[in-house]
Amino acid sequence: MEKDAKIYIAGHRGLVGSALLRKLEREGYSNIIYRSSAELDLRRQERVESFLKLARPEYVVLAAAKVGGIEANQRYSADFLYDNLMIQTNVIDSAYRNGVKKLLFMGSSCIYPKYARQPIKEEYLLSGKLESTNEAYAIAKIAGLKMCQHYNQQYGTCFIAVMPSNLYGPGDNFDPDRSHVLPALLRKIHQAKVENQKEVVVWGSGTPRREFLHVDDLAEALLFLIKIGHSPQLVNIGVGKDITIRELAMMLKEIVGFKGGIVYDRTKPDGTPRKLLDISRVKHLGWQAKISLEQGIKQTYQSYLASSRVFK
Ligand code: GDP
């Protein structure tokens, strides 16, 4: 890909989009375009159509989505379904109509069945029931990845659906009600330390396992997938190992330096027991994650502390 190739990042302010923007800028890509949601509401078909008709990007990374942790997914399930269906339908169809060379569509490991065999291979898609806490989000994302596959089949497009495991990193959402587990616990544990609290409440039983991928690793994988000649239709991106929520809490406690205890609120849902991705497909293509969880959490904590709203 030429350094002046026109690349449109949808969702450049989000966790994934902002990491990709940093990566592309660092690598010297000079023709990156983006719009804030106030400038371009991707849920509005006509606006998306006229934007892409005019902008005519060669590459599109569709990282705009309504996302959130286990509680937000349940509380705002209608919004998760509607917003994501609208955004992805408009962008994918307009990308085809305006001759986009390659599009990367961002999914998530929650699209796979709740009790899928582990590690989860791409082929296990639609082989069982979904986890109820994020069903609306998963249904939208499955529709998006199927849309990519069917456009490829019918129209010969090159639309790749990327399924990352649980993401974290700088620019994450630390809001207690909406965040995913890693930023949520990082914030809670930091606050507990600063305020000298005795304990921190962790939701659920602590036994579910999650695989955490640093968003800078994902950004690197996305660039790798844009550049490669052979493009798989569906590809998992992960680190190849997972830990329990309890182990995660212990690790965060250690890194933050919190001396108090951890208690479990079992009235909160556990969600999927495990969703470790099988990453052989992307490995065979030649890509592997580099950032260890410990290193990634330390860096994320530093960037969290540096953000102005945090009291130290
Ligand atoms: P999931 O991977 O889609 O289930 O989403 P989350 O990242 O929100 O949650 C992962 C797991 O962490 C679930 O078992 C949650 O119950 C657990 N968890 C523990 N404490 C928290 C917390 O403070 N916030 C969130 N979001 N999850 C938590």
Average pLDDT rounded to a whole number, residues 240-248: 98
Q: Exactly one of 112, 137, 301, 304 is catalytic; which is it?
A: 137
Ligand 1 centroid, distance to 155 Cα (angstroms): 39
Mean residue pLDDT across the chain: 96
Pairing mode of beta strands 159-164, 209-210 = unpaired
Secondary element (H or E) of residue 59: strand 59-62
Segment 256-284 mean pLDDT: 97
User: Can you give the residue ranges of every domain in the chain?
Assistant: 7-172+211-240+275-291
The predicted pLDDT at position 176 comes to 86
> Which H or E run contains 298?
helix 293-306
* Strands 199-203 and 234-237, sheet pairing: unpaired
Handedness of CA 153, 45, 180, 294 (dihedral sign): positive
308 pLDDT exceeds 80? no
Predicted local distance difference test score (pLDDT) of residue 311:
58
| Helices of type H across 104-179 | 135-155
Q: Alpha-carbon distance 290 to 298, whole Å? A: 15
What pLDDT score does 309 carry? Answer: 65
The average pLDDT across 199-211 equals 98
Cα three-residue angle 163-229-169, rounded to 5 degrees:
35
Candidates 3.40.50.720, 3.40.630.70, 3.30.1490.20, 3.40.50.620; CATH matching 7-172+211-240+275-291: 3.40.50.720
Question: 137 an active-site residue?
Answer: yes
**Which residue lies with its CA nearest to atom 1 of ligand 1?**
70
Q: Count Cβ neighbours within 10 Å for each residue of 22-49 and write b for 16 or more, e otherwise.
A: ebbeeeebeebebbeeeebebbeeebbe
Q: What pLDDT band is residue 46 in, cutting at 50, 70 and 90?
A: very high
Q: What is the pTM of this model?
A: 0.97
Give the model confidence (pLDDT) of 292-302 as tens digits. 999 999 999 99
Q: How confident is the model at residue 231 (pLDDT cuts 50, 70, 90)?
A: confident
Nearest CA to ligand 1 atom 8: 69
